[in-house]
Structure 1
Amino acid sequence: MPEGHTIHRLAARHRELFAGRVVAVDSPQGRFAAGATLIDGRRLIDTEAYGKHLLHHFADELSLHIHLGLYGKFADGELPLPPPVGQLRMRMSGGGHWLELRGPTACEVLEPPAVAVLRARLGQDPLRDDADPLFAYGKVRSSTKPVFALLLDQSVVAGCGLIYANEVLFRAGLAPTTPGRFVTAAGWQEMWDDLRALMKEGVARGRIDTVHTAHTPEAMRRAPRVDRHGGEVYVYRRPGQPCLVCGTAVQRGSLAGRNLYWCPTCQPG
């Protein structure tokens, strides 16, 4: 599932292509036909990312809400429109460009009250300037859940996914099983600032890199990481390999139903 930085990149891309323009919208697959009719021929005012949710705001206070889930993906290009191929949920065109959406978990048109409900159930998004890390910490410090699970809880931190959760805990030197109530306010603020910086870099670069300069392939004279997720990381999907900092074998486990990776030396429990 795409992490929050990917959704923010998509929001920026779609804003660049369509904001301020009247767009045509249809659903070749048919599953979004009713929703497409509501926004077809309307002006797209702006786009917005909130955690892993993407919103296209149209004239007359209608919003297209998209959650890609595990299988959703976008494609775009210059007009003319290519012929629809396969299960194409939504297609948008205008301003010389087209956009295609396939396989999302959610693709729906919402009115303002429903958008408000969506926002209310989401936590704080580190990539948004209106995020309040202290509000998120209020949920963390009152919880006995492991901090790893809290980072992945979208009602606490919106947009943080598996890679960022594993990596930011390593960089903080914090055991993933640490109960939230044992995380100090100062420790949370440092972790939040680090997560925000890493995710901002992810938006800029289009990939997740979490290693410090001293641990890059060039600095360590090692081969670059080869993985479909790309990026240089400390522990994520590196079980059994030596920690880039101390050399201890990276461990793998399961927590909150998700894959957990950590270094037992750098993150003592």
Structure 2
Amino acid sequence: MPEGHTLHRLALLHRERFVGAAVRVSSPQGRFAEGAALIDGRVLTGSEAHGKHLLHHYESGVTVHIHLGLYGKFYDSALPMAAPVGQVRMRMIGAGERGESGFGTDLRGPNACEILTPPEVEALTDRLGADPLRADADPEQPLRRIRRSRRPIGALLMDQAVIAGVGNVYRAEVLFRHGISPYRPGSGVSAEEWGAIWADLVELMPVGVATGLMHVVRPEHDHGEPSYAPDRPRTYVYRRAGAACRVCGATVVHAVLEGRNLFWCPNCQPG
């Protein structure tokens, strides 16, 4: 599932390409046909992300809420766009559809693509924790929940009601970078440790927005065994079960925590 930086990157791209002008919106698949009819030809006034949720705000006051889930993806195209291919939930076409300028995008396979009213948007964002990529985020909000909980910090970091936008990669890597076992209870994480984790996320995640890639390994450790995939930067522990830790040489281990794969170094992250 895409992590928060992917949604913020999309929000930025859509601000640049679509916001401030009327957009043509359709649903070739048909599942978003009623929603598309409400916004087709309307001015898109804003595009933002909160955690793993993308929000398109229209002049009429309604918002399109998109959650990509495991399989959702936007497929961008210069104009004119070709005929839709596959199950396109939503097609957006910006200014210049009759000329060589302008852009369009097809959304396929999202978990959610729906119209929300302002109260529904407020209810959605109220359910989400602080997002390290948002300027209005309050790191004290997740700290209060973490310090009251006996759940493992590795689980709390994945709970979108505690902190929004962190997924499996950032979870594994930020805990490694701070030497914290993913099984340590939230109540055992000090305010100072949480402050360092938050500051690290605030520094790391914008790099993902800018580059589209999660760069998490410090320069002095960015060598040796290649990444788990050819098109990904190196990681410390994520998807490296059985390999040698890049820092201490111990064997990286794997487990499943609350249904999600977990990776850590038992030597660098004791407890």
TM-score, length-scaled by structure 2: 0.96
Alignment deviations for residues 187-232 of structure 1 (CA, whole Å, 9 cap, x no partner): 1000111112111111111111111110112xxxx25314167121
CA 1:184/1:226 → structure 2, altered by over 3 Å: closer, same or farther? closer
Residues 65, 115 of structure 2: 8 Å contact kept: yes
C-alpha distance in structure 1 between counterparts of 2:177 and 2:228, whole Å? 21
State the SS of the aligned residue for 1:36: helix
2:128 to 122, 128, 132: 122
Structure 2 counterpart of 1:45, one-letter code: T
Counterpart for residue 162 of structure 1: 168
C-alpha distance in structure 2 between counterparts of 1:203 and 1:125, whole Å? 13
Residues 53, 67 of structure 2: 8 Å contact kept: yes
2:137 to 128, 131, 139: 131
Matched, 1:112 2:118: yes
Counterpart for residue 258 of structure 1: 260
Residues 146, 156 of structure 2: 8 Å contact kept: yes
Counterpart for residue 246 of structure 1: 248
C-alpha distance in structure 1 between counterparts of 2:137 and 2:176, whole Å? 23
Structure 2 counterpart of 1:183, one-letter code: V
2:236 to 234, 247, 264: 234
Shift of 1:255: 0.9
State the SS of the aligned residue for 1:89: strand
Alignment deviations for residues 52-75 of structure 1 (CA, whole Å, 9 cap, x no partner): 000001002111100000000001
Counterpart for residue 79 of structure 1: 79
Residues 228, 239 of structure 2: 8 Å contact kept: no
1:100 to 95, 106, 121: 106
Q: Report runs of 4+ in structure 1 exceeding 4 Å deviation.
A: none
C-alpha distance in structure 2 between counterparts of 1:261 and 1:191, whole Å? 17
State the SS of the aligned residue for 1:56: strand
Structure 2 counterpart of 1:82, one-letter code: A
State the SS of the aligned residue for 2:60: helix
Q: For residues 209-224 of structure 1, what are the structure 2 equivalents within 5 Å?
A: 209-217=215-223, 222-224=224-226
Alignment deviations for residues 83-118 of structure 1 (CA, whole Å, 9 cap, x no partner): 011111100102221111000000001110100010
Matched, 1:13 2:13: yes
Structure 2 counterpart of 1:179, one-letter code: P
Counterpart for residue 143 of structure 1: 149
State the SS of the aligned residue for 1:246: coil
State the SS of the aligned residue for 1:173: coil
Structure 2 counterpart of 1:100, one-letter code: D
Alignment deviations for residues 132-151 of structure 1 (CA, whole Å, 9 cap, x no partner): 00111000000000000000
Q: For residues 62-73 of structure 1, what are the structure 2 equivalents within 5 Å?
A: 62-73=62-73
Q: Which runs of 5+ in 1 are unaligned?
A: none
Structure 2 counterpart of 1:83, one-letter code: A
C-alpha distance in structure 1 between counterparts of 2:210 and 2:7, whole Å? 12
Counterpart for residue 158 of structure 2: 152
2:189 to 173, 183, 187: 183
C-alpha distance in structure 2 between counterparts of 1:57 and 1:33, whole Å? 18
TM-score, length-scaled by structure 1: 0.97
Q: Which runs of 5+ in 2 are unaligned?
A: 96-101
Shift of 1:77: 1.7
